Structure 1
Amino acid sequence: MTTTPTNSHSRFTFALLLWLLTLGCANSSVPPEGTSVTGASGGCGHFTAYRFNQARTLAVVLRVDEDQIELSDEPTEIVLGPKATGVEVEVYQFGQPAGEYFCDDVGGDPEPIAKWTVTGGSVSISRTAGKPPAHLSNATHKISAVLRNMTITHTTTGATAHFGDVNIESVWVGWIPG
């Protein structure tokens, strides 16, 4: 049987389409479905707080500029979006488990394979002073944050998705990472 140019062209187009779909999935323009961000939480700096999924391949990161937002023991409610000042929330995806990516300038963690910016939703942040554990003696306070009803936008493709809610509970912050 002789293959016509049309058949050959169709097979090539189909193979190319499959390859592009596979490549697109590897670049993770949308976070994995059903991902639950209930793994380890941590914090550092002035301040950065984060929470991973159980596999440490997806993380939600909250950064607050305390010069622009005054925090107290009472929850401070902030609406997230393009007009929000003093607060930034991002979602990072890694191809393999990350360790201390957000609070360690030494290196060794994998680079993110995808990143989203939170463009909608809200965050409630409360701060408490206290004496940190000995291994965090330079921390200045502990924070808890509840991120609600987040909408995320992929930083490269512009794709948007609903991400849901994440709790970052009782993490020490307030020192320079190192």
Structure 2
Amino acid sequence: MPRSREKSSKDGKSVPQKGEISAAEMAQRLAMTPQAIGLWCKRPGAPVRVDGTRVWVADGPFQRWREKELVAQALKDLAPGVSLEEARTRKALAEAEIIEIEVAKKRGEIITIEDSTSALGVVLDRVTTLVRGFPSRLAHLGEIVEEAAEAEAELIIAELSEFSEDVLPVCGDERPAEAPV
């Protein structure tokens, strides 16, 4: 209901129209001061009617309008400097990026962290198996060589078991990976 100036009744008193209440009554319903409701009534788009010195408020529409205004203000406070159009653009770009990633996955151009971790695990298991076989393959060179190869194999296996902790960064960890010493 747009703000308008209406004439008073024949006896000079201002009367509410259907669905209207006085601004003072609205202030009581919303537990607000008359000054606060007055500020709300002066805002652009407020569903009020000015009749002489009285302000009449469209009961239901005013409360819905005020709730929308409060939500809009809260959203503006949460994301200062970001317009609705900018937020929509960001959303569209993010959705496009997600689609590009899915297409790249289907083409086999990228793999997930889980897949790469699994593949690396298979490789490390195979290397560990090969390293464990060194001492027995060198046994024909003598017991001292076999024992030395066994000790070296255990060191290599220990290094491989710590490989993911020392070399591969943990997801979300911003520290650069350090090479084992």
Q: TM-score, normalised by structure 2?
A: 0.19
Say which structure is richer in helix: 2
Q: TM-score, normalised by structure 1?
A: 0.19
Pick the structure with greater CA Rg. Answer: 2
